Amino acid sequence: MNRVQDLGKLIKLTGERATLDAKANGTYIVYITEKGQIVREYANGEVVPIKDPGVTYE
């Protein structure tokens, strides 16, 4: 594998670990969708968009 593939795999594993930790602790994870919207995803699968994150991303 090259570095880009290794980095992609590491990012995926980090996201999966965050999801497991959120389930174990009864919290949520925050991420940006493909459309650029910031959302919270709860352990039960509920996805809630954050309307005013207070920070802009480009």
In the three-class reduction of DSSP (H, G, I as helix; E, B as strand; rest coil), residue 43 is classed as coil
Per the domain annotation, does 57 fall within a domain?
no
Q: Is residue 54 part of a domain?
A: no
| Nearest Cα residue to 23 out of 3, 41, 10 | 41
Asked if residue 23 is part of any domain, the answer here is yes
Tens digit of each residue's pLDDT (9 = 90 or more) over 16-56: 999 999 999 999 999 999 998 999 999 888 999 998 767 66
Instruction: Report how many domains make up the chain.
Output: 1
pLDDT of residue 52: 74
Please report whether residue 56 resides in a domain: no
The pTM score is 0.69
CA-nearest of 2, 25, 22, 26 to 14 is 22
CB 50 within 8 A of CB 38: yes
The residue range of the domain holding 39 is 3-49
